[in-house]
Amino acid sequence: MAIKTVFFDFGGVIIKTPTLKWLNRWKKILGFGDEPEIIEMLENPNESQLVKDICLGRITEDHLWTMMAEKWHIKPQLIQHVRQRLFSKRHLNKGMVKFMAEVQKNYQTAILSNAGDQTRRVMEDVYNLDHFVDEIIISAEEGVIKPDPAIFQLAVDRLGAEPETSLLLDDYVVNINAAREFGMKAVQFVNTQQAIQMVRAHLNGEI
């Protein structure tokens, strides 16, 4: 069946993933040292319980930053600076946003993201991504995260879509496999050119 709805992931797709060099620089500046929980959150977020709790809305992003500031005695001004740098417009994948705008002309589009409670504000106020999609679905607001099939059901219901006519673009293979098991088409993001080419092939009925 022809694709009618395209869901885009946020982190690692629309926003570029921070490099290890960038992470190590900020770990040094903030004095994280070898704190296991923070190291896992930064270097292996998909397996971090702390990240999962943030994405499920169990922990607010403000609480996380306050906890970090108190634990490592980081000045509020530095915390604010880091938060701003994390969501700098330099991290935006402009090629993907341009593609999203193109797709939106002929298809339903949405962002489906495992993210914290402050992410909608960033998406809309910093990146203006609400201009390029019909809906933004954020896990912390819903209390469910990918790869739980419940979030895919919620997403298609929210847009009045069907799994078999929906496609997910995501960088995390577990989410790709879960979307396919749910009945959706799915493309794993490796790089922008590859992802756009694969999504276009699905939309054109070539796959």
Where are the domains positioned within the chain? 5-16+92-203, 20-89
pTM: 0.84
Residue 33: its pLDDT value, please? 54
**The predicted structure's pLDDT at residue 112:** 98
What residue has token string 């290890």? 20
Q: What is the mean pLDDT of residues 125-129?
A: 93
Instruction: Write the pLDDT tens digit of every residue in 5-39.
Output: 999 999 999 998 765 565 566 566 566 555 565 55
Contact of 27 with 20, CB cutoff 8 Å = no
User: In the prediction, which pLDDT does 78 show?
Assistant: 63
Cα–Cα separations (whole angstroms), residue 32 to 24, 27, 141: 10, 5, 29
pLDDT in tens, 43-96: 566 677 888 999 999 989 888 777 766 666 666 666 665 666 666 667 899 999
Average pLDDT, the chain: 86
What does CATH list as the number for 5-16+92-203?
3.40.50.1000
Rg (CA), the chain: 17
How would residue 133 be classed by pLDDT, with cut points 50, 70 and 90?
Answer: very high
CB-based contacts of 175, cutoff 8 Å, min separation 6: 9, 146, 147, 168, 186
Neighbour-count burial for 158-190, b at 16+ CB within 10 Å, e otherwise:
ebebebebbbbbbbbeebbebbeebebbbbbbe
Mean pLDDT of 170-184: 97
